[in-house]
Amino acid sequence: MVRLDYGFLVIGFLIVLFGLIDPRVTNLISIYLILGIILSTIIAKNNKFNYFLGLGIISILSLVIFGINLGIEFRGGTRVILQTESFLSNTEMLDLVDRIKSRLSVLGLEQFVVKGIENRIIYIESSTPDLVDRIKNVITRRGEYIGIVDGVVVVRGEDIIPNSVQIILDKAQLGGADWGVQFALNPNANARFLESVRGKANRPIYMFLDPPRNMFILLNRSKLQDPAEAIEVLSYLNITVLWDDEPIDISDNTTIISDRDLGLKNQIVLNESDLYPVYNFGSISSWKAINLISAPRLSPSITAGGNIVGMRYLISGTARDRPAIDEAREIASVLRGGGIPYNLEIIGTTNIPPVFGELSLSYSIAGLILSVISVAVFTAIRYRNLAIAGIIAAITILEMTILLAIVGRFTLDLAAIVGLIAAAGVSIDAQIIITDFRLRRLLKFEEVYRIIKNNTIIAIAVIFPLLLLGNVEVVGFAIVAIISYVMGYLISRTVYNELLDKYVFRK
């Protein structure tokens, strides 16, 4: 009988936890699950020890093959420098920094450092160079989200509950779309929305993100499936349609969107594919030229009246010129961070040197291993048993290896290092508690295990809000700590007890 019940619980928990932060982790954890089962089957009979050992072997292979993605402190990175139009007060600067952090938190388990300088300059530092362009796209957007039904704005970005924003990439769940961003509204906004759409079943809700206003657009009638619908949508933004088969009579200072150069001063030239709307079943579903990101139709169940508690809203779309996850993250980051009421200008980018360097990381890991060995020596002296000391050291180092492999695939920053050190302390503490109670015969393992379970629940309850806050500086610590508690409770504490029975109590 395969005894991998706890292993499945660990993987399931981690998939849910990390999937909310970075969907890429789902694939990584799934690979750990499959390979862990295979290796635990090959090594010997299926049990928790072999499963734990299998995860350790996978982690070692991952570290050897893929290495570790180091944070800014250890390998340096890139700094994006932004400037506001005018000086801000201390309160305004703190608010702006918080909004930027909230937006960046959706980009996944990457490291970002956000600093406000002299009430006008913003530094955004990242250890991943290829994220710089995505940072620019996310931060320089105003972040104005509106949903319009029959010319009336029924939902705004400020109505969204930030922590409810979630990325969805399951096409079956999205009805064939490549990406989706789901969110909830605060209770008052939700009630207003339901009242606004009452009796408007099957009408489209046009969802815009940073829509342009008060300008002209030059179009060809023959390339529109329904010119009347296009004119109606544009009228919501006070955008006037000019047809390319008619004379153009506008002033040089007027802003116009087209797909060719008209020799005008304020002109926005787009590709033809971006200039015209995308249709789905004969109706406009998105329109890049005016930042229409989605246009779902209202379900009759929503428009029938009455308050629907806990209703979720969905923006979905098709990936065109970049991966679906990138488009979803950009939308989600803006919705979570909310609008930025200040005009930000990127004034430069610079390379930043590492604060500590890779050698410091090596010293940190070596110090962690030495501390575990020191504890092992102490426990050997205290319990006068080398087997206990060896088991504690082996399990703790194996736990640290698994944690290092998981977090190192994304960004190992200073916060994650602190998390590793804390995890080592928690692991050793739990094993010593088990040892004391077992040697003194005060409690059975099942009773000790109950104590460890309660400690785990309390610790996760304390740490989990750090993830919900969207603070990019502490996410590494929170993730390492939560994984270590869950893995310890579900696998390694039981493994330690089994090894005590086998090598100490000789059962």
Q: Which two tokens stand for residue 429?
A: 């503490």
With contact defined as beta carbons under 8 Å apart, do 194 and 334 qualify?
no
pLDDT recorded at residue 470: 57
CATH of domain 146-211+291-337: 3.30.1360.200
Q: Which two tokens stand for residue 253?
A: 């200072």
CA distances from 373 to 377, 386, 425 (A): 6, 12, 12
383-390: long-range contacts, CB 8 A cutoff, minimum separation 24: 383/435, 383/439, 385/504, 387/503, 387/504, 388/435, 388/500, 388/504
Confidence bin at 302 (pLDDT 50/70/90) = confident
pLDDT recorded at residue 1: 35
Report the range of poorest mean pLDDT among 135-139, 268-272, 318-322, 356-360.
356-360
pLDDT, one tens digit per residue, over 41-80 is 555 454 677 778 877 888 888 888 878 878 777 777 888 8
HSE of 199 in the Cβ direction (CA atoms, 13 Å)?
2
Instruction: Tell which residue, 332, 242, 318, 256, has the closest CA to residue 287.
Output: 318
CA distances from 111 to 14, 85, 423, 475 (A): 20, 27, 20, 9
Confidence bin at 343 (pLDDT 50/70/90) = confident
Which of 2-16, 416-430, 458-472 has the highest mean predicted lDDT (pLDDT)?
A: 416-430
pLDDT recorded at residue 151: 92
Helix (H, G, I), strand (E, B) or coil at 337: helix
Q: Which two tokens stand for residue 24?
A: 């890429």
pLDDT recorded at residue 292: 92
CA distances from 203 to 8, 219, 265 (A): 44, 25, 38
Which of 48-52, 178-182, 210-214, 341-345 has the highest mean predicted lDDT (pLDDT)?
A: 210-214
pLDDT recorded at residue 107: 63
CA-atom Rg of the chain in angstroms: 28
What is the chain's mean pLDDT, rounded? 80
pLDDT, one tens digit per residue, over 108-135 is 556 678 888 888 898 888 876 666 677 7
pLDDT recorded at residue 3: 40
Rounded to an integer, the average pLDDT of 394-407 is 87
Report the range of poorest mean pLDDT among 116-125, 225-234, 435-444.
435-444
- Statement: 77-139 belongs to CATH 3.30.450: no
Higher pLDDT, 368 or 117: 117
Record: fold of 5-71+355-503: Multidrug efflux transporter AcrB transmembrane fold (1.20.1640)
The model's pTM: 0.62
List, in sequence order, every beta strand (DSSP E) within 13-170.
Answer: 77-84, 112-117, 121-126, 145-149, 152-156, 166-168
pLDDT recorded at residue 223: 92
Question: What is the distance between the alpha carbons of residues 411 and 318, in angstroms, rounded to a whole number?
Answer: 29
Question: What is the distance between the alpha carbons of residues 226 and 48, in angstroms, rounded to a whole number?
Answer: 63
Domain boundaries of the chain, sorted by first residue: 5-71+355-503, 77-139, 146-211+291-337
Rounded to an integer, the average pLDDT of 206-228 is 91
HSE of 480 in the Cβ direction (CA atoms, 13 Å)?
32
Higher pLDDT, 289 or 112: 289
Q: Is the pLDDT of residue 92 over 90?
A: no
Rounded to an integer, the average pLDDT of 83-112 is 80
